[in-house]
Structure 1
Amino acid sequence: MTSSQETASRVPLVIAGYAVPIAGMVLSTGLRLFVKFTGPTEDHFHADDYLITLATMLEVAYSIVMLVVGVGHGFGKHAATLSIHDLEIFLKCDYIASHLYNVGLASVKLGILALYYRIFPIPWFRKTIIGCAVFVGLWITTIEIFMGLLCRPLEAFWDASVKGTCFNSSALSYYVNTSNMITDIVIFALPIGVIVRLRTSLENKIALCVIFSIGFITCGISAARLAFVFAQSSSDITWDGVDLGVLSAFESFGGILCANLPIIYRIFKQAAQKVSSGGSSAPKTTRVQYGRESTNYASRSRPRRTRLSETFSEQWIQLQNGSTNDSQYPDPDSTTDFAVQKAVDVETGMELVRVSTSNIPSNAITVQREFHQMVETRR
């Protein structure tokens, strides 16, 4: 039995379970920063960008600590095969990593809430977001206090020779995981009610709901983690704790990815537009990037406007060009056909309107301008 325990190893699972989330978190947040650095100056960084960057650093640090120090001191092997020194180092590593994981998770939640606050300028919704943020702040504060008081003295947590009193770590884990799952469900469900009320096409509503609902996968991971909390009270923590550790890393990755998707999706959308336009024979038209005014008609002293969706960045108004004779102007009572398209810009929360006219005389002047509208739903 002892020989089978000595040869048994879950180290490959630990390595893959932490390496994949590290790569995913670094890549998705890296793309987010790329979008911010290459965008207009006024749209570079907001509170949600700082919080998600902080969360990424904390969660990557958590995974690296468990991957390097944990595996180096027996994580993925049976505790009975480890020396007392290795077991103590692993428990110290697990304690430090727990702080990184918990604070990083709270930063993800606050970052997502800050993103909601920025892109959904609805008074009642913003008040709800502030309430959720206060709850998350109290939640992480409570956890950190209990973690700091886990054992008195604290050395008793990893050193069996030190006499002390400790809280029930399993009960603390149940509290952390249960409250974490509940807050995830609430946070990821918040924008759905706002999105379905937007005055936009069904296609846009579905696309927005999909982007913001991917976070429910993270809720599923949180639920799965509850099944492995028993490992905290297991005497073979370096073996039984592998599942809980790997799920924790993927939960962090899922939360950060969901926070980054509303920002980085434009990269893939623009790439798809370039591919489709490259194979089209239709004549190309010049576009104004992200709602900037055309330099042919805009004063250089005027501030640039908030960045809008590139798809709806051009608005056209037709002006008559002819002699001063009244007969040259169109009859005000005449019928002119108008076509209106609407869409919601995910980043600004604006409802964008594109107006085009037909039956334009051949001697008309075309002036390029912008037209956007913010729609606020009141209850």
Structure 2
Amino acid sequence: MVAANYSPEYLAESRVALVNVFFSIPIPIEVLSTVFRLWVKTRLSPQRRLAFDDYFIVWATITAVAVCIAGLICGVSGGLGRHMEALPTEVIETFLLVDYIFSHFYDFAIASTKLSVLALYYRIFAATKFRILVIATAVCVVIWLIVMEIILGLGCQPVQGWWNAGAAATATCVDKLAFTYSTNIINLIFDMWIFTMPIPIILGLQASMEKKIGLCFLFSMGLGTCAISAARLSVVISVRSKDITWSEASLGILSAWEPCGNILCANLPLVYRPLARGIQQIRSTMKISRPRSHDLGARPSSSYHDWTRLNNSTLSNYATSKVTATRGNSTELVMIGRTGITVERDFKQEVHHE
């Protein structure tokens, strides 16, 4: 079909502005979220050092940003969001080449985020059987990533068949639709499995049901990204469209937001406390009419897990008439040996000197 067969209105239709906006927004969200996590770990954490889960999330953020940049290139110079009939052949080939590169970055972004979450599980949950399960799941994720990369690398012979029209005419390629469907289905299954793994252990903790529900909600927030994966699965059929530059706009946008959602959910368990306390401090400073005397006995604010422990040695230099301790609402997962975890509450200690 040639462009002359279509109306000027049809050929002028464009989703490029929409593509550029929705590929741009995840970039600052991903970067700021991960930078805040690293700041919390290196400045506010008692250990003040990074762990394997932090390195994985840094790599996931880099590749997720690369996904968005590739999408922006598709929108600016590759014709994503335009009808193919309105584009010259060289622009279509640019789109297909960048889309091929986009797929590699997408694979590494979603796999790295899963490995970051699993590394976090391994670090904070000390139960031996659970750790074995975490390692087995991580091995499956790595195998899945390797298989996807092999198919992308060898799925077309020659490899230029993925993007070059001349090479595609004689190339032998895998069924791209079947490959994309299988990739998305396995990805969705992994997400559902990984983000529900800690729930049985959390429900077995010696804690109130309220705290258990809160921890389950915190660690299963990633299930929300399954909705993005499911939505992406519903538009996968666009890879076989004859007007691929137009129909793949929705698929590309969802592919950019999926790793963004995963990164946010992977960072949340480590930043929610300082984030919540920061918001609380901002609110308190806005209450100008609040009497200052109310704050005299308050515990100094902290940006991280600052647990006040009762310790008699700290009181040996003072004569005291009364020591009271009030249980707070904060909890923290703490490793005990190699057999399990405990939930530690914070206390507010008041000492009245004579």
Partner of 1:352: 344
**C-alpha separation in 2, matches of 1:60 and 1:354:** 38
Letter of the aligned partner of 1:193 in structure 2? Answer: P
- After superposition, the C-alpha distances for 1:90-125 in whole angstroms (9 at most, x for unaligned) are 111000110001011100000011111111122121
- The runs of 5 or more residues in structure 2 that have no matched partner are 1-5, 336-340
Q: 1:44 aligns with which of 37, 45, 49?
A: 49
Q: 2:102 aligns with which of 79, 97, 103?
A: 97
- Describe how 1:1-379 pairs up with structure 2 within 5 A: 1-40=6-45, 42-162=47-167, 163-274=170-281, 279=290, 281-284=294-297, 309-310=305-306, 312-317=307-312, 344-346=331-333, 350-352=342-344
For the structure 1 residues 63 and 361, does the alpha-carbon distance in structure 2 shift closer, same or farther, using more than 3 Å as the test? closer
Letter of the aligned partner of 1:309 in structure 2? Answer: H
- After superposition, the C-alpha distances for 1:280-307 in whole angstroms (9 at most, x for unaligned) are 71533565969xxxxxxxxxxxxxxxxx
For the structure 1 residues 288 and 268, does the alpha-carbon distance in structure 2 shift closer, same or farther, using more than 3 Å as the test? closer
Letter of the aligned partner of 2:258 in structure 1? Answer: E
**C-alpha separation in 1, matches of 2:82 and 2:282:** 49
Partner of 1:331: none
Using structure 1 for the length normalisation, give the TM-score: 0.79
Letter of the aligned partner of 2:213 in structure 1? Answer: I
Instruction: Find the residue that maps to 2:344 and give its secondary structure.
Output: strand
Letter of the aligned partner of 1:352 in structure 2? Answer: E
- After superposition, the C-alpha distances for 1:156-210 in whole angstroms (9 at most, x for unaligned) are 2211212211111001001100000000000011112222222123332232222
**C-alpha separation in 1, matches of 2:39 and 2:345:** 28
Letter of the aligned partner of 1:186 in structure 2? Answer: W
- After superposition, the C-alpha distances for 1:295-327 in whole angstroms (9 at most, x for unaligned) are xxxxxxxxxxxxx822x32324387899xxxxx
**C-alpha separation in 1, matches of 2:43 and 2:349:** 34
Q: CA deviation at 1:217?
A: 1.2
Partner of 2:338: none
- The runs of 5 or more residues in structure 1 that have no matched partner are 291-307, 323-335, 364-379
Q: State percent identity of aligned pairs.
A: 37
**C-alpha separation in 1, matches of 2:187 and 2:146:** 13
For the structure 1 residues 316 and 41, does the alpha-carbon distance in structure 2 shift closer, same or farther, using more than 3 Å as the test? closer
Letter of the aligned partner of 1:213 in structure 2? Answer: S
Letter of the aligned partner of 2:266 in structure 1? Answer: A
Letter of the aligned partner of 2:117 in structure 1? Answer: I
- After superposition, the C-alpha distances for 1:223-262 in whole angstroms (9 at most, x for unaligned) are 1111111111111111000111111111111100000111
For the structure 1 residues 154 and 275, does the alpha-carbon distance in structure 2 shift closer, same or farther, using more than 3 Å as the test? closer
Q: Is the 8 A contact 1:116 1:129 kept in 2?
A: yes
Q: Which has the higher helix share?
A: 2
Using structure 2 for the length normalisation, give the TM-score: 0.84
**C-alpha separation in 1, matches of 2:324 and 2:299:** 24
Partner of 1:328: none
Instruction: Find the residue that maps to 2:198 and give its secondary structure.
Output: helix
Instruction: Find the residue that maps to 1:43 and give its secondary structure.
Output: coil
- Size of the aligned set, in residue pairs, is 332
Instruction: Find the residue that maps to 1:189 and give its secondary structure.
Output: coil
Q: CA deviation at 1:74?
A: 0.5
Letter of the aligned partner of 1:57 in structure 2? Answer: I
For the structure 1 residues 176 and 283, does the alpha-carbon distance in structure 2 shift closer, same or farther, using more than 3 Å as the test? same
**C-alpha separation in 2, matches of 1:273 and 1:169:** 50
Letter of the aligned partner of 2:14 in structure 1? Answer: S
**C-alpha separation in 2, matches of 1:126 and 1:350:** 16
Q: CA deviation at 1:344?
A: 3.6
Q: CA deviation at 1:48?
A: 0.4
Q: Which has the higher contact order (CA 8 A, sep 6+)?
A: 2
Q: CA deviation at 1:267?
A: 2.1
Letter of the aligned partner of 1:255 in structure 2? Answer: N
